[in-house]
Amino acid sequence: MRTEPDQVTSSDSRADDAVDHVGRKLRTLEQCALHRRTFRLTCPACGHVRLLDAIPLWRLFTKRGWDDGLPNAIRRLCCQPCREAGRVVRPRFVVTREQPEGPQPPYPDRHEWKRVVSRYRS
């Protein structure tokens, strides 16, 4: 299956990772965070792989006032090793349930996260 760099896909092993418990497609970082998803970012140029937790990524986008829709969020991400080498390469983006690895952006404080969860449940 060939995907465009900004296309959101679910992992091959778990076809239901990009949907919620009812079967609706996850369309925003907030929805992915609420459903405890992670993102596998794979650089097409160098092959670098990074697993990011959706919760701190959602917080980063919210704090900066960026659109958290998945297609727009993907356009803001780039491969760190390639960027340090002077190139801007957009990674392939897959929604997964794997454990996040490596350094993560800061997580929201407990009260901020509870407000989001409470708003979602109501």
What is the model's pLDDT at position 29?
94
- CB atoms under 10 Å from CB of 111, counted, come to 7
Average pLDDT of the chain is 86
Q: Residue 13: pLDDT above 60?
A: no
What is the model's pLDDT at position 119?
87
- The pair of three-digit structure tokens given for residue 116, joined into one six-digit string: 């989001």
- CB atoms under 10 Å from CB of 104, counted, come to 16
Q: Mean per-residue pLDDT for 66-76?
A: 92
Q: Mean per-residue pLDDT for 67-74?
A: 92
What is the model's pLDDT at position 17?
76
Strand partners, 87: none
